[in-house]
Chain A
């Protein structure tokens, strides 16, 4: 990585600091979900299926999942603003790596997701959120958050570049949003009575992210889910980043 690449990454971070709408929206959305779900459904937390730490620990992972969903459009907004102003073309005609030109705002987005995830985890800790493996649990949860954020951010960025419209980035959020409801978001598998929903949840990556985090936090799930989540999100991250970077060929100058 050369100086030009590092400068582009620094610019991506600076842009995000001065245009924090996307990460702040994601942060607000995740806190909202956490508070509302805990207040609305938290009363069932006494059931054994939720584990000894109650509903708060059970529902907590959805705050991290929705954080990445809410903030994944940050990179595409930065890139779109540069394309609209023509400045993207100016940078494109510099010796800086064209891959880094696309990846830099994505990296800034991922960093912001990690920072806000850490903040949400701290808020969770204040409300007695358990960490089954201590610091390792925190690192594991951050790893899943990061991979989830890369997946969403890469696809959002790629779609925006290919369509040239920043609104298009919302397609990814809108596509992923129903997956939250087709998962074990609100109830553990043991309490889901509908067969079709159970079947859908098995094929849903969100299930593995949530259950993987539950394994690391309250320990109410199996380590198998964490392994599958890392593997699946690792692959989807790779695909989405490749998709975003390859989309650069579709830019019409």
Chain B
């Protein structure tokens, strides 16, 4: 059953830059999906449109049966998003931010406190709970940033470079939380990352977007088989082989 359906999606920016050229994607409910591609490929634009931050030019998107442009408030309750940049109020404490986030999403006062406590423990922020976020380390800020995306228990989670700045232990804790959401609660995860070993380890499905066009969509295994960088080659090896072959083709053609 599809969780995200994208049909003939187009987006161009002022100055004629075509960020997305007729994108069609289908993401199954409960899947762990990696959206891969080089910088400037259109990943952030695609995620921006899905999370209602950017308006599309043409095409259709349906997430969980909802149209992001027409049912904005409903879609916000359905999805959670942790972008590349931290989105924290430096003057607030992690506990207050999590509680406020819960209240914004309609949790009652007591519920929001409970949920904040739960996430503080889940993300190992107990010692930082009442410190101003401005004083937190980069890794802890990142953890809090991701925890904020989970307050309202979203059914689809968009993660954009989520582990940037986290130490190995924090990364392990983070992935434990995320994979458990995916496996136990059936939350659909959409990950965009340049850390391909993380996508390799956790994602089952993937799409490769280059220059606003989808070059591949399917299982990670199928991508490896298609590119065939070697028997034990990682996703990164296959990705590099594929993108380099494209660059070489461009070079030869020019």
Contacts and interface: CB of A to CB of B under 8 A. Distances in A.
A85 B89 contact: yes
A140 B103 CA distance: 38
A188 B229 CA distance: 87
B81 A87 contact: no
B104 interface: yes
A89 B87 contact: yes
B89 A87 contact: yes
Interface centre among B86, B87, B106 (most CB of A within 10 A): B87
A89 B53 contact: yes
Interface residues of A, number: 21
B104 A4 contact: yes
Interface in A138-168: none
A100 to B, nearest CB: 11
A85 B104 contact: no
B54 interface: yes
Interface residues of B, number: 26
A92 B101 CA distance: 11
Given A3-B103, A4-B103, A11-B100, A93 B86 contact: no
Contact of A18 (B88, B91, B101): B91
B87 A90 contact: yes
A230 interface: no
B124 interface: no
B105 A94 contact: yes
Interface in B77-94: 77, 81, 83, 85-91
B148 interface: yes
A82 B89 contact: yes
A94 B104 contact: yes
A85 B88 CA distance: 6
A89 B101 contact: no
B101 A87 contact: no
Nearest to B151: A94
B76 A4 contact: no
A45 B72 CA distance: 60
A7 B112 CA distance: 13
Contact of A90 (B72, B77, B90, B101): B101
A246 to B, nearest CB: 14
B106 A89 contact: no
B106 A3 contact: yes
Nearest to A5: B104
Contacts of A91: 104
Contacts of A11: 100
B63 to A, nearest CB: 13
B76 A93 contact: yes
Given A7-B103, A253-B53, A87 B76 contact: no
Interface of B: 48, 51-54, 72-74, 76-77, 81, 83, 85-91, 100-101, 103-106, 148
Given A86-B83, A89-B87, A253-B53, 14 more contacts: A4-B103, A11-B100, A18-B91, A82-B89, A86-B86, A89-B83, A90-B101, A90-B148, A94-B104, A94-B105, A95-B74, A95-B76, A95-B106, A96-B104
Q: Lowest 6 CB-CB distances: which A-B pairs, in order?
A: A90-B87, A86-B87, A95-B73, A253-B53, A94-B104, A87-B89
